């Protein structure tokens, strides 16, 4: 029995080491050496703190691909690690990597951590990637951060599905592109979307999602 | 008395042993009748054997054993039969769509471009891995399968110029001086 438990632990350890190695291997040859070593140390620290490594690796690769210098890449990685940590504290330790990435983007856009915690509290058993992403996207479109967060919470509470939230975001962006004030557009669209959900019959879910554009 | 019976039996035997006088065409008629009869093939013989009623008897123990064997064969057939690949409601995870990749179409109108690629979180920010194909009027497109999640990306025009997607939300912040875009792939939740 002890041998089996030891073997299982060893296998798990080897598996985790293999995943970590694969993540950091992606940086090999993409960063100059001083930056590479510092990036690996930063990733190890984040991993030790229970944060996902892949987003940090992706940030480093983005910087390398865009020709950024080492200090700038490391600064961006540190900022992202901080955002991921705050997002993890607000959303809970069991949150997925995608949720932390989307939560980090919402925080970076200016959404207060309390809104993330409320979203998780109201939807404890569902992925909240899309609501968090819509919050961030609305803010970058010009909607004030508190307004965007409050609107998304309202719509999620009203029962909007992910696709409807994305449609709401597109409607607001279209209004803004046509010259409407961002806050006013969001307010009008929130009322319309909430009324639509209340009036619409229940629709079946599932099936193969269609091909889509960003 | 016994002598008389013996002689009578001997007479009957002699009569039976006496060759039968057949008409001259008897053999030919028999052979013709045989040739005219329908030939019995092995398959026909098997069919006749199968159709012939028979009485089969076995002990109660043998009957139970035979029934168990039939049930075992039927269960094995059900167990080994191929199952449908699609999700089955009872066996599906709570959020079945969270792992299924979706084809996302990346599109850029760039009539003057000689090459367009897309680099992002989904391909290690390596422009060489995902090139767009030029269509009519300089419309460049590519489909990339993405699992649900949020990805940052940018187009790379002519191998060096990073361009955000004009049809997608901008990524928050410009960490490296050039803007990127984001795509959020839904998972079918909420």
Mark yes or no for CB contact A162/B152 under 8 Å.
Answer: no
Task: Label the pairing between strands B149-157 and B133-134.
Answer: unpaired
User: Residue A3's pLDDT band (boundaries 50, 70, 90)?
Assistant: low
pLDDT class of B34 with cuts at 50, 70, 90: low
Q: Report B:26-85 residues touching A (Cβ under 8 A).
A: none
Query: Which pLDDT score, from 0 to 100, does residue B88 have?
Result: 24
Domain ranges of chain B: 98-185
Residue of B nearest to A164 (CA): B190
Residues of B in contact with A52 (CB under 8 A): none
Confidence tier at A209 by pLDDT (50, 70, 90)? very low
Check whether A75 has a pLDDT greater than 80.
yes
Query: What is the tens place of the pLDDT at every residue in A142-179?
Result: 999 999 999 999 999 998 988 899 999 999 999 998 99
pLDDT at residue B86 above 50? no
The more confident residue out of B44 and B125 is B125
**Identity of the residue in A61, A63, A98 whose CB atom sits nearest the CB atom of B148:** A98
Tell me, yes or no, if B127 comes closer than 8 A to chain A by beta carbon.
yes
Residue from A59, A110, A164, A209 to probe the interface with B (highest B Cβ count within 10 Å):
A209
In this prediction, residues A128-135 reach a mean pLDDT of 95
Percentage of chain A exceeding pLDDT 70: 82
What's the whole-number mean pLDDT along residues A14-28? 71
CATH of domain B98-185: 2.60.40.10
Contacts of A102 in chain B (CB under 8 A): 149-150, 184
Q: What is the pTM of this model?
A: 0.67
Q: How far is B133 from chain A (nearest CA, A)?
A: 16
Q: Per the CB < 8 Å rule, is B125 touching A26?
A: no
Report CB contact under 8 Å: A98, B150.
Answer: yes
| pLDDT at site B28 | 78
Top pLDDT among B128 and B89 is at B128
Per-residue pLDDT reduced to its tens digit, A81-111: 999 999 999 999 999 999 999 999 999 999 9
Local confidence band at B76 (pLDDT 50, 70, 90 cut-offs) = low
Contact status of B182 with chain A (Cβ, < 8 Å): yes
- CB A156 to CB B121 under 8 A? no
- What mean pLDDT is reported for chain B? 78
């Amino acid at each position: 029995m002890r041998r089996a438990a030891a073997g299982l632990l060893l296998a798990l350890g080897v598996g985790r080491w293999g995943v970590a190695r694969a993540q950091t291997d992606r940086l090999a040859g993409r960063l100059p050496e001083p930056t590479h070593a510092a990036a690996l140390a930063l990733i190890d620290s984040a991993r030790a703190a229970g944060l996902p490594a892949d987003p940090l690796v992706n940030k480093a690769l983005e910087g390398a691909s865009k020709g950024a210098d080492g200090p700038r890449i490391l600064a961006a990685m540190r900022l992202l690690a901080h955002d991921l940590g705050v997002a993890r504290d607000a959303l809970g330790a069991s949150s997925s990597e995608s949720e932390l990435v989307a939560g980090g983007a919402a925080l970076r856009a200016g959404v207060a951590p309390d809104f993330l915690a409320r979203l998780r509290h109201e939807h404890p058993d569902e992925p909240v990637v899309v609501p968090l992403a819509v919050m961030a996207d609305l803010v970058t479109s010009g909607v004030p951060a508190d307004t965007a967060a409050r609107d998304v919470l309202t719509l999620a509470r009203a029962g909007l599905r992910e696709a409807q939230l994305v449609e709401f975001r597109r409607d607001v962006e279209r209004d803004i592109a046509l010259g409407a004030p961002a806050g006013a557009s969001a307010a009008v669209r929130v009322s319309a979307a909430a009324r639509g959900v209340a009036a619409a019959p229940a629709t079946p879910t599932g099936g193969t999602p269609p091909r889509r554009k960003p | 008395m016994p002598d008389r019976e013996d002689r009578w039996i001997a007479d009957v035997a002699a009569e039976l042993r006496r060759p039968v006088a057949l008409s001259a065409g008897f053999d030919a008629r028999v052979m013709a009748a045989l040739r005219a009869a329908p030939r019995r093939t092995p398959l026909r013989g098997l069919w006749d054997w199968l159709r012939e009623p028979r009485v089969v008897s076995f002990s109660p123990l043998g009957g139970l054993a035979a029934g168990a064997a039939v049930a075992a064969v039927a269960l094995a057939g059900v167990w080994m039969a191929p199952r449908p690949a699609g999700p089955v409601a009872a066996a599906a995870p709570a959020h079945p769509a969270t792992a299924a990749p979706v084809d996302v179409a990346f599109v850029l109108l760039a009539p003057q471009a000689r090459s367009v690629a897309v680099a992002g979180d989904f391909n290690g920010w390596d422009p060489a891995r995902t090139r767009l194909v030029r269509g009519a009027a300089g419309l460049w497109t590519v489909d990339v399968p993405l699992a649900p999640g949020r990805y940052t990306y940018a187009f790379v025009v002519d191998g060096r110029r990073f361009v955000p997607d004009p049809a997608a939300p901008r990524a928050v912040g410009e960490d490296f001086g050039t803007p990127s875009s984001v795509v959020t792939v839904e998972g079918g939740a909420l």
